[in-house]
């Protein structure tokens, strides 16, 4: 899993190439984007 951090060292984004998911962290909200086998996107907000 690759992580992108801001200048303060806080995680902003994580990319998991095996699971084909992208996690975007903004404040306390987490958005998970999953790329499905047929090319469609599935978005989950937590």
The pLDDT, as a whole number, for residue 29 is 94
Number of structural domains in the chain:
1
The pLDDT, as a whole number, for residue 1 is 85
Global pTM? 0.80
pLDDT tens-digit map of 1-42: 899 999 999 999 999 999 999 999 998 899 999 999 999 999
What is the extent of the structural domain holding 6?
Answer: 2-45
DSSP string, 16-33: ETTTTEEEEEETTEEEEE
* Under 8 Å between Cβ of 16 and 3: no
Tokens of 46: 């937590």
The pLDDT, as a whole number, for residue 9 is 92
* Under 8 Å between Cβ of 46 and 36: no
């Amino acid at each position: 899993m690759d992580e992108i951090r801001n200048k303060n060292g806080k995680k902003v984004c994580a990319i998991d190439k095996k699971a084909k998911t992208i996690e975007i962290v903004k404040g306390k909200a987490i958005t998970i984007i999953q790329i499905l086998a047929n090319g469609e996107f599935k978005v989950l907000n937590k």
